[in-house]
Amino acid sequence: MNTPAATPGCGRTGIHPAAVGLIAAAAVVLAGCSSTSAGTAPSTHAAPSTHAAPATHAAPATHSAAATHTGPTAVSAPPASTGFRALDLSFVGDADGWALGTAQCASRPRHRCAAMRRTTDGGEHWTSAPPPAANVPGASDCATACIEHIRFATRHIGYAFGPGAFFTTSDGGEHWTKQPGGAEALESLDGNVIRARPVVNGCTLGCEYSIETAPIGSRQWRPREQIWSYQLVLARGGSDGYVLALPHFSGNGPSTLYRSSDDGTFWRVTPHPCRDVGGYRGVAIAAAPDGRVSVLCTGPGERDSFIAVSTDDGAQLHAAARALPFRIAMFPAVLAGDPHGLLLAAWDDNPGGGRGAYLSTDSGRTWAPVAASKGAVTWVGVESRTVGRIIGDNGRTIWTTNDAGALWTPFTFS
């Protein structure tokens, strides 16, 4: 959901700061320009992030590029029309949120254009907001300047990005400025931002990533670590940061966990994080404050998967449960939340395609399907121990819980 920012908070599969100690479990999983991603990075602060901020609203929705530029250019695309479908979410606190997606083009109703929606009441109502002038999966082929994710660190400062495109806003999303480079993943929390930037744009069978940090709102990025990975997941909790580097989904080899306890300045390597608990490899990760981290481990069989939990920054993982009661495809899978509160997970459990969503409130020992969600689940995020969100129904509906999953409230875009 959201990505944290200036103050400690929750994280998204990403979460962030403000007055509530949240979970920045930014689970952004990317490979090329795919619209299948899981968002996550909640934040509760005066303005955190997993991408987005308030903007001048046009019409309310009803219920039911990676190159070096001589200088940044302020760009803002016109809002798209109806038929909004969400791809990614970012919340700052409980009320302020942004959704990146596509909608019917105002001038060409049979085509789809990049679109954005904004809420200031926790998702009860959404209004149109101007998206960056970039392509979005589902509206184009992502050949140039494609953004797949949005993260807001505060109510004003936000980031929209993809492997070959990077935009920033300092006025809550009313205007967007194109910056050099791109990002495969980005999460804000604890006063700074961590991003994974492809060193070479356009790689397909594995990439070298530069892990970089910057103060929130700064354009000056400092390289901290080099990581090779086919796909990667970035998660944050408090001052802790985690990068789970994944091998090719159809190849051999374990995943590798990179851990930082100082907001991404220095990184330690934990090879094969699932090995000591009997797993084959980790495929998803979620982080929370005080060193709490959860890893979704898979085994050689499609039902030989389980959650492993750590309370010491991932140094030691302990299996929370064996043989999870649902099918786990190797990838993609997403995980968000706090093992001491609400955990949300989504993965392919439908032979015909699409993901199901599940929740746990006992550190991953038991799981129950989120029966409220309809259709394919494409994103999950957790903002606190009780607040979580799901994008379901192929992007048409955002489901929100404020009581750790006991009750889910939908908002369906027209």
pLDDT tens, the chain, 414 aa long: 343 333 222 334 433 322 222 333 334 333 322 223 333 333 432 222 333 333 333 333 333 333 334 344 555 555 556 899 999 999 998 899 999 999 998 877 788 999 999 999 999 999 999 999 999 988 876 767 799 999 999 999 999 999 999 999 999 999 999 999 999 999 999 999 999 999 987 777 788 999 999 999 999 999 999 999 888 999 999 999 999 998 765 545 788 999 999 999 999 998 888 887 766 788 899 999 999 999 988 876 656 778 889 999 888 888 887 667 666 655 567 899 998 889 998 876 554 455 688 899 988 888 888 877 767 888 999 998 899 999 998 899 999 999 999 999 999 998
What's the pLDDT at 301? 64
Alpha helices in 11-97 (DSSP H): none
- pTM to 2 decimal places: 0.81
3-state secondary structure of 160: strand
What's the pLDDT at 328? 64
Buried b (16+ CB within 10 A) or exposed e, 5-35: bbbbbbbbbbbbbbebbbbbbbbbbbbbbeb
What's the pLDDT at 280? 74
| Burial class of residue 203, CB neighbours in 10 A (0-12, 13-18, 19+) | middle
What's the pLDDT at 143? 67
What's the pLDDT at 17? 27
What is the distance between the alpha carbons of residues 19 and 93, in angstroms, rounded to a whole number? 8
In degrees rounded to 5, what are phi and psi of residue 153?
A: -95, -30
What is the distance between the alpha carbons of residues 237 and 15, in angstroms, rounded to a whole number? 8
Q: Strands, E, within 140-252: which ranges?
A: 149-152, 158-162, 165-169, 176-179, 185-189, 192-198, 207-215, 222-229, 231-237, 240-246
| Number of Cβ atoms within 10 Å of the Cβ of 103 | 26
| Burial class of residue 106, CB neighbours in 10 A (0-12, 13-18, 19+) | middle
Per the DSSP assignment, residues forming a β-bridge with 152 are 158
What's the pLDDT at 76? 54
Alpha helices in 132-289 (DSSP H): none
What is the distance between the alpha carbons of residues 273 and 283, in angstroms, rounded to a whole number? 10
From residue 187, give the alpha-carbon distance in Å to each of 9, 142, 207, 238, 244: 12, 22, 19, 12, 14
What's the pLDDT at 23? 33
- Cα 291 to its chain centre, rounded Å, is 19
Query: Largest Cα–Cα distance of the chain, in whole Å?
Result: 57
What's the pLDDT at 378? 85
3-state secondary structure of 394: helix
What's the pLDDT at 151? 98
What is the distance between the alpha carbons of residues 24 and 235, in angstroms, rounded to a whole number? 6
What's the pLDDT at 15? 30
What's the pLDDT at 304? 73
Residue with tokens 């979704």: 296
What's the pLDDT at 231? 85
Assess contact for 92 and 154: CB atoms under 8 A. Answer: yes
